[in-house]
Structure 1
């Protein structure tokens, strides 16, 4: 355990937790401006969270501990990822947990917990949203694993910190066919995992089209605040992984204060730019019909497989 890893384990969770709602607010503001609206302001998500945390906790009658624990599991698993993944530094405080399979499993565990909570309510919309979420998850998780695995072939390790470090020391990897194919596949994965257009519409509450929102209709007060905060954190985590796996410049390789400061600024800038691009792209996209979503995700899986093939044969 290096000093850079310890500092990263402290700085990264604080940065993601405090900055994730601001990222969501910024993306909403970008989308509002492009649509000709004023928007609610960048800090509106934090104002909403503060209001929700101040309300009384209410749980539907007949629900079990699954419903009550799911928001905590969602936040906890995402928080662990922010501790171990290489966002600000290339070192990890808990190096074994920075493995590709461990990180993907943690992210999947949070999604499964929320889907179980949707089923636990016993409502039609909760079951519908959980079913759709599990369908998307079953198609997305293999793509996520294979896309990042394509980057690990030349490194000889599935450790995310090792992959980022190798790219920092050999920038030419970024423009290789394997990296480009994996990047496109991972972008589609992020869109699906975070419920963005064209897979899901985060700004709608139409019952027949909802995926994520259908699972959390019964949440209120602090529990809803935890779910919303965790969703924003997951978006930041995915964008941070995309940025550092393919554009790792600025990531601190030492524990020097200046290097860590540059790492923090670089992460904020990269996630902000990616979030703005994602929000701008949504303005020009329409939501896909549900039965077309598997076709999109199958295409991303094919790109991930091609990335693995390219990493083996073009290395």
Structure 2
């Protein structure tokens, strides 16, 4: 028995041929969908989701390839393209009865949310992205020795075979490294939740690698095409971010503003797992966003 979101109902929802997502749902009111990051599952939203569910319908899925959602075999770059994963989320919301909804994502989930905002502007009323840069900007920002912080991005960008083999051989150490190094407060991820994250990642190495591999290929192509066409996010956008810019030498707010005209960007003194470390701050930011 692994942890679940207290007070949430669980179900499996078909979102594509052969792909069903594990999703937790609670509350009533305007819908909010929360997308988790790496190396986590929907459990990362446990504190934030409980608060929002007091007056919103809150929907917390595991992304395709993660947690207890289906993990289709990587048949090509489109299988785990953020465009495909974003379409999953729009379909999920519609099958739960919501044509339009607010969307918040952390880390990998924020990249899916970003793509959903560009591809499905009529469906996304508000957008929040936690501690990430858009894919195209992320690759541009990583250079020289500072790029060592993103070693996993380069490892998982390699052709199928070697990265899966290496990570499978050391799965708990590999995924545990990020839980340890990225946490501003180690107490934010208790032992039972950490164990659930490691179990979920251990069982999903090929699909996690495929997700990252897509971000070094097809996702860059999609972002590049949108930038060339001048496509931008039409909805109110909130971004919470650690001060990466000072460390890596770029202006994170300016990068985000090029995509999001209606932007509120905040630099926060928190670790990467901010929704677990300081849910009060994240809830406030999301509620402020929903009021715009």
Which TM-score applies when normalising by structure 2?
A: 0.29
Higher share in strand: 2
- Which of the two has greater helix per residue? 1
